[in-house]
Amino acid sequence: MAKPSKSSQGLEVAAQSALKGVLKGTTTMSLKEWFTEIKNTRQLMQASTHQQQPLATGRNRRLAQQLENSPSVQAALKLKQKFSK
């Protein structure tokens, strides 16, 4: 196998340097800033989820009340009471 010439090695090094230069310029924030932002976003999402929970519980209570008042459920409850005695 032939050894690459010095000029082709020089081109490889130049290409790698150019690539590294492009990659360095593409980031706008450090890794620490990036992960801090992710952490803060997750905390905000968790906080908003906890705030929505009582709303969902209220909706569930209203739905349960509506179902309890529906004629078919009332009939089933009467049958249950009749047969449980």
Give me the residue spans of the domains in the chain.
Answer: 31-85
In the predicted structure, residue 20 carries a pLDDT above the cut 70: no
What the block records as the tokens of 38 is 């992710």
pLDDT in tens, 47-85: 776 666 676 688 888 998 998 899 998 898 888 888 876
Longest distance between any two alpha carbons in the chain, whole Å: 100
Over residues 6-19, the mean pLDDT reads 59
Quote the CA–CA distance of 12 and 4 in Å, as a whole number.
10
Residue 48 in tokens: 């908003």
Rounded to an integer, what distance in angstroms lies between the CA atom of residue 67 and that of residue 77? 12
Residue 70: left (phi > 0), alpha (psi -120 to 50), or beta?
beta
| pLDDT reading at 3 higher than 70 | no
